[in-house]
Amino acid sequence: MPTAIITGASRGLGQALTTALAAAGWTVVIDGRTLSAEPAEPAEPAEPAGVVIRVPGDVTDPAHRAALVEAALGTGRLDLLVNNAGILGPSPQPPLADYPLATLRDVFEVNVVAPLALTQLALPALRRHDGAVVTVTSDAAVEAYAGWGGYGAAKAAAEQASNVLAVEEPAVRVWWVDPGDLRTQMHAEAFPGEDISDRPLPETVTPAFVDLVTARPASGRVRL
């Protein structure tokens, strides 16, 4: 049974990806700052084919990152790391002229530094098992949207880090994945007071994600 780590899996896309991979027979190690050690509800009678291991914590914490990798290696292998955890920054999004720099550092810490640090810990096991690294990105990384300078710059940095990692680690697949606009809490925070019910739910992109990690195309940017 293959094993994946998915960060930021207490809600939204991370939660949807966890459900999809578990249903496909994966063991999935998940984290989240608001994640409880045990599921909030009892397991349904029809349990998924895979296993979900919950490791609550903050991905910016070095001890927590080590615990995530340790939990995965406890299954005997690590095949996939999904760097999904992220923060938007201020809500509503301010123009760069007014962007609080202390907050910008936090946005880069969560969206760029922490994923790279976790990837560094996971790479030895991923190399051994022909593994893969997925970093969830955004069209804000490649398009200039007013008000999205902080978040977009962080996602652009994460994309370039993935791009270089793909060259440096030929034994590992590296994909930076843009899931599009989804109906998530983070997206709602980006547009406070607006109705985002026209956006698709995160579950709509999970089949394409499972196809990606199953088919294992060449490293690169992927739009789900």
Could you list the active site residues?
151
Pair type for strands 132-136 and 173-178: parallel
Neighbours of 220 (CB within 10 A): 13
Cis-peptide, bond into residue 92, ω within 30° of zero: yes
